[in-house]
Protein backbone atom coordinates (compact mmCIF):
# COMPACT_ATOMS: atom_id res chain seq x y z
CA UNK A 1 0.00 0.00 0.00
CA UNK A 2 1.50 3.30 -1.11
CA UNK A 3 1.69 6.43 1.06
CA UNK A 4 -1.15 8.11 -0.82
CA UNK A 5 -3.28 4.98 -0.54
CA UNK A 6 -2.71 5.01 3.22
CA UNK A 7 -3.73 8.69 3.32
CA UNK A 8 -6.86 7.90 1.28
CA UNK A 9 -7.77 5.02 3.60
CA UNK A 10 -7.33 7.23 6.69
CA UNK A 11 -9.59 9.98 5.29
CA UNK A 12 -12.32 7.49 4.43
CA UNK A 13 -12.11 5.51 7.68
CA UNK A 14 -12.08 8.65 9.85
CA UNK A 15 -15.12 9.96 7.95
CA UNK A 16 -16.88 6.61 8.32
CA UNK A 17 -16.29 6.56 12.06
CA UNK A 18 -16.96 10.27 12.57
CA UNK A 19 -20.49 10.04 11.16
CA UNK A 20 -22.14 7.59 13.57
CA UNK A 21 -25.84 7.09 14.33
CA UNK A 22 -26.85 9.67 16.95
CA UNK A 23 -26.97 8.20 20.45
CA UNK A 24 -30.52 9.47 21.07
CA UNK A 25 -31.86 7.16 18.35
CA UNK A 26 -30.03 4.18 19.86
CA UNK A 27 -31.27 5.10 23.36
CA UNK A 28 -34.90 5.30 22.24
CA UNK A 29 -34.63 1.70 21.06
CA UNK A 30 -34.67 0.59 24.68
CA UNK A 31 -37.18 3.11 26.04
CA UNK A 32 -40.26 3.51 23.89
CA UNK A 33 -42.98 0.91 24.10
CA UNK A 34 -43.38 -1.95 21.70
CA UNK A 35 -46.43 -1.39 19.51
CA UNK A 36 -46.00 -1.98 15.77
CA UNK A 37 -46.68 1.72 15.32
CA UNK A 38 -44.00 2.75 17.84
CA UNK A 39 -41.53 0.34 16.24
CA UNK A 40 -42.22 1.76 12.79
CA UNK A 41 -41.65 5.30 14.05
CA UNK A 42 -38.34 4.23 15.62
CA UNK A 43 -37.19 2.52 12.43
CA UNK A 44 -38.21 5.63 10.48
CA UNK A 45 -36.05 7.76 12.74
CA UNK A 46 -33.22 5.24 12.41
CA UNK A 47 -33.42 5.09 8.62
CA UNK A 48 -33.62 8.88 8.37
CA UNK A 49 -30.54 9.37 10.53
CA UNK A 50 -28.70 6.65 8.59
CA UNK A 51 -29.40 8.49 5.32
CA UNK A 52 -28.20 11.77 6.87
CA UNK A 53 -25.02 10.01 8.04
CA UNK A 54 -24.58 8.54 4.55
CA UNK A 55 -24.80 11.95 2.87
CA UNK A 56 -22.25 13.44 5.27
CA UNK A 57 -19.89 10.45 4.81
CA UNK A 58 -20.17 10.57 1.00
CA UNK A 59 -19.09 14.22 0.92
CA UNK A 60 -15.78 13.12 2.49
CA UNK A 61 -14.95 10.59 -0.21
CA UNK A 62 -11.98 12.14 -2.06
CA UNK A 63 -13.07 13.06 -5.58
CA UNK A 64 -16.81 12.64 -4.97
CA UNK A 65 -17.56 16.37 -4.86
CA UNK A 66 -15.63 16.85 -8.10
CA UNK A 67 -18.14 14.60 -9.92
CA UNK A 68 -21.02 16.14 -11.90
CA UNK A 69 -23.57 17.42 -9.34
CA UNK A 70 -26.45 15.42 -10.83
CA UNK A 71 -24.29 12.30 -10.86
CA UNK A 72 -23.55 12.82 -7.15
CA UNK A 73 -27.31 12.74 -6.49
CA UNK A 74 -27.79 9.70 -8.74
CA UNK A 75 -25.03 7.82 -6.87
CA UNK A 76 -26.52 8.71 -3.47
CA UNK A 77 -30.04 7.72 -4.47
CA UNK A 78 -28.80 4.53 -6.13
CA UNK A 79 -26.68 3.38 -3.19
CA UNK A 80 -28.60 4.61 -0.13
CA UNK A 81 -30.36 1.31 0.58
CA UNK A 82 -27.20 -0.77 0.13
CA UNK A 83 -25.07 1.60 2.21
CA UNK A 84 -27.73 1.58 4.93
CA UNK A 85 -27.82 -2.22 5.06
CA UNK A 86 -24.02 -2.37 5.13
CA UNK A 87 -23.86 0.10 8.00
CA UNK A 88 -26.66 -1.53 9.99
CA UNK A 89 -25.06 -4.95 9.38
CA UNK A 90 -21.92 -3.62 11.00
CA UNK A 91 -23.89 -2.01 13.80
CA UNK A 92 -25.68 -5.34 14.32
CA UNK A 93 -22.66 -7.57 14.15
CA UNK A 94 -20.46 -5.60 16.53
CA UNK A 95 -20.94 -1.89 17.42
CA UNK A 96 -24.25 -2.32 19.30
CA UNK A 97 -23.90 -2.77 23.09
CA UNK A 98 -25.22 -6.21 24.04
CA UNK A 99 -28.97 -6.29 24.60
CA UNK A 100 -29.55 -3.51 22.05
CA UNK A 101 -29.17 -5.95 19.19
CA UNK A 102 -31.93 -8.22 20.47
CA UNK A 103 -34.23 -5.25 21.14
CA UNK A 104 -33.59 -3.82 17.66
CA UNK A 105 -34.15 -7.21 16.06
CA UNK A 106 -37.41 -7.57 17.98
CA UNK A 107 -38.59 -4.13 16.90
CA UNK A 108 -37.74 -4.85 13.28
CA UNK A 109 -39.68 -8.11 13.45
CA UNK A 110 -42.68 -6.28 14.91
CA UNK A 111 -42.88 -3.26 12.61
CA UNK A 112 -45.01 -4.48 9.73
CA UNK A 113 -42.10 -5.76 7.64
CA UNK A 114 -43.16 -9.05 6.02
CA UNK A 115 -41.38 -12.24 7.13
CA UNK A 116 -40.18 -12.93 3.57
CA UNK A 117 -37.95 -9.84 3.87
CA UNK A 118 -36.91 -10.31 7.48
CA UNK A 119 -35.21 -13.65 6.81
CA UNK A 120 -32.87 -12.51 4.02
CA UNK A 121 -32.14 -9.33 5.98
CA UNK A 122 -30.89 -11.20 9.05
CA UNK A 123 -29.09 -13.76 6.90
CA UNK A 124 -27.22 -10.85 5.36
CA UNK A 125 -26.35 -9.44 8.81
CA UNK A 126 -25.01 -12.86 9.81
CA UNK A 127 -22.95 -13.24 6.61
CA UNK A 128 -21.44 -9.77 7.15
CA UNK A 129 -20.70 -10.55 10.80
CA UNK A 130 -18.87 -13.75 9.82
CA UNK A 131 -16.43 -11.71 7.71
CA UNK A 132 -15.06 -9.92 10.80
CA UNK A 133 -14.19 -6.88 8.68
CA UNK A 134 -11.84 -4.32 10.20
CA UNK A 135 -13.22 -0.80 10.18
CA UNK A 136 -11.04 0.23 7.22
CA UNK A 137 -12.57 -2.58 5.16
CA UNK A 138 -16.08 -1.58 6.23
CA UNK A 139 -15.48 2.06 5.25
CA UNK A 140 -13.90 1.10 1.92
CA UNK A 141 -16.59 -1.46 1.06
CA UNK A 142 -19.27 1.19 1.67
CA UNK A 143 -17.28 3.62 -0.48
CA UNK A 144 -17.02 1.05 -3.29
CA UNK A 145 -20.80 0.54 -3.07
CA UNK A 146 -21.51 4.26 -3.32
CA UNK A 147 -19.15 4.61 -6.30
CA UNK A 148 -20.99 2.05 -8.44
CA UNK A 149 -20.89 3.45 -12.02
CA UNK A 150 -24.01 1.70 -13.38
CA UNK A 151 -26.59 3.27 -11.10
CA UNK A 152 -29.68 4.69 -12.90
CA UNK A 153 -29.25 8.17 -14.44
CA UNK A 154 -25.46 8.38 -13.98
CA UNK A 155 -24.17 10.34 -17.03
CA UNK A 156 -20.36 10.23 -16.70
CA UNK A 157 -19.91 6.55 -15.74
CA UNK A 158 -16.19 6.63 -16.63
CA UNK A 159 -15.50 9.28 -13.97
CA UNK A 160 -17.24 7.14 -11.33
CA UNK A 161 -15.46 4.01 -12.57
CA UNK A 162 -12.05 5.70 -12.17
CA UNK A 163 -12.87 6.63 -8.56
CA UNK A 164 -14.23 3.16 -7.79
CA UNK A 165 -11.14 1.48 -9.29
CA UNK A 166 -8.94 3.56 -6.96
CA UNK A 167 -10.94 2.42 -3.93
CA UNK A 168 -11.06 -1.22 -5.09
CA UNK A 169 -7.29 -1.22 -5.45
CA UNK A 170 -6.80 -0.05 -1.86
CA UNK A 171 -9.44 -2.51 -0.56
CA UNK A 172 -7.84 -5.45 -2.40
CA UNK A 173 -4.40 -4.67 -0.91
CA UNK A 174 -5.90 -4.15 2.54
CA UNK A 175 -7.67 -7.52 2.41
CA UNK A 176 -4.38 -9.27 1.56
CA UNK A 177 -2.69 -7.55 4.50
CA UNK A 178 -5.51 -8.11 6.99
CA UNK A 179 -6.39 -11.69 6.00
CA UNK A 180 -3.14 -13.28 4.72
CA UNK A 181 -4.48 -16.75 5.52
CA UNK A 182 -7.50 -16.19 3.27
CA UNK A 183 -6.55 -15.26 -0.32
CA UNK A 184 -10.26 -15.35 -1.36
CA UNK A 185 -11.29 -12.79 1.26
CA UNK A 186 -11.46 -9.83 -1.18
CA UNK A 187 -13.65 -11.88 -3.56
CA UNK A 188 -15.93 -12.81 -0.64
CA UNK A 189 -16.33 -9.13 0.26
CA UNK A 190 -17.36 -8.25 -3.30
CA UNK A 191 -19.75 -11.20 -3.26
CA UNK A 192 -21.60 -9.49 -0.42
CA UNK A 193 -22.30 -6.52 -2.72
CA UNK A 194 -24.26 -8.88 -4.97
CA UNK A 195 -26.26 -10.08 -1.96
CA UNK A 196 -26.91 -6.42 -1.14
CA UNK A 197 -28.55 -5.80 -4.50
CA UNK A 198 -31.16 -8.50 -3.87
CA UNK A 199 -31.89 -6.94 -0.46
CA UNK A 200 -32.63 -3.60 -2.10
CA UNK A 201 -35.40 -5.21 -4.16
CA UNK A 202 -36.98 -6.51 -0.95
CA UNK A 203 -36.56 -3.04 0.51
CA UNK A 204 -38.63 -1.45 -2.24
CA UNK A 205 -41.44 -3.94 -1.56
CA UNK A 206 -41.17 -3.14 2.15
CA UNK A 207 -41.67 0.56 1.45
CA UNK A 208 -44.65 -0.15 -0.82
CA UNK A 209 -46.36 -2.38 1.75
CA UNK A 210 -45.83 0.21 4.49
CA UNK A 211 -47.21 2.86 2.14
CA UNK A 212 -50.26 0.68 1.51
CA UNK A 213 -50.98 0.67 5.24
CA UNK A 214 -50.66 4.47 4.98
CA UNK A 215 -47.53 4.68 7.09
CA UNK A 216 -45.84 8.09 6.79
CA UNK A 217 -42.17 8.49 5.79
CA UNK A 218 -39.96 11.51 6.49
CA UNK A 219 -39.32 14.04 3.65
CA UNK A 220 -35.68 12.90 3.37
CA UNK A 221 -36.68 9.25 2.90
CA UNK A 222 -39.35 10.26 0.37
CA UNK A 223 -36.73 12.19 -1.57
CA UNK A 224 -33.96 9.60 -1.54
CA UNK A 225 -36.28 6.70 -2.47
CA UNK A 226 -38.82 8.56 -4.62
CA UNK A 227 -41.74 7.37 -2.44
The residues, ordered by sequence, that sit 6+ positions from 178 with a Cβ below 8 Å of its Cβ are 134, 136, 137, 185
Question: Total residues contacting ligand T73 (rule CB under 6 A)?
Answer: 12
Q: Which of 53, 84, 147, 171 forms a contact with ligand T73 (CB under 6 A)?
A: 84
Check binding of 50 to ligand T73 (CB under 6 A).
yes
32/13 Cα distance (integer angstroms)? 33
The residues, ordered by sequence, that sit 6+ positions from 106 with a Cβ below 8 Å of its Cβ are 34
User: With contact defined as beta carbons under 8 Å apart, do 50 and 84 qualify?
Assistant: yes
* Angle, CA of 137, 123 and 31, to the nearest 5°: 90
Upper half-sphere CA count for residue 81 (Cβ side, 13 Å): 21
Minimum distance between the CB of residue 165 and ligand T73, rounded to whole angstroms?
Answer: 28
Question: Which residue, 83 or 170, is less far from ligand T73 as judged by CB?
Answer: 83
Sites for ligand T73 among residues 133-172 (CB under 6 A):
none
User: With contact defined as beta carbons under 8 Å apart, do 185 and 173 qualify?
Assistant: no
Site string for ligand T73, 5-44 (x = CB under 6 A): --------------------------------------xx
Signed CA dihedral, 189, 103, 111, 24: sign only: negative
**Which of these, 29, 40, 35, 62, lies nearest to 147 by C-alpha position?**
62
Q: Which of 61, 108, 170, 171 forms a contact with ligand T73 (CB under 6 A)?
A: 108
Q: How many residues does the chain have?
A: 227
Q: Which of 58, 88, 90, 142 forms a contact with ligand T73 (CB under 6 A)?
A: 88
Check binding of 64 to ligand T73 (CB under 6 A).
no
Question: Which residue, 34 or 156, is less far from ligand T73 as judged by CB?
Answer: 34
How many Å separate Cα 218 from the centre of its chain?
18
Minimum distance between the CB of residue 116 and ligand T73, rounded to whole angstroms?
Answer: 14
Question: Which residue, 9 or 84, is less far from ligand T73 as judged by CB?
Answer: 84
User: With contact defined as beta carbons under 8 Å apart, do 106 and 114 qualify?
Assistant: no
Contact range with ligand T73 by CB under 6 A, out of 56-64, 81-89, 150-158, 183-191: 81-89
Site string for ligand T73, 188-217 (x = CB under 6 A): ---------------x-------------x
Question: Which residue, 83 or 131, is less far from ligand T73 as judged by CB?
Answer: 83
226/220 Cα distance (integer angstroms)? 10
Check binding of 221 to ligand T73 (CB under 6 A).
yes
Residues at the contact surface with ligand T73, assessed by CB under 6 A: 43-44, 46-47, 50, 84-85, 88, 108, 203, 217, 221
Amino acid sequence: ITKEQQALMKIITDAYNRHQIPQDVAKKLLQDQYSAEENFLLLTEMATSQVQVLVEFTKNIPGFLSLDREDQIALLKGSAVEAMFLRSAQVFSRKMPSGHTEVLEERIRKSGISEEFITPMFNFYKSIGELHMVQEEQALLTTVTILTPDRPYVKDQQAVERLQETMLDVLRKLCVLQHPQEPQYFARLLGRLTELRTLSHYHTEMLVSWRMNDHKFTPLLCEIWDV
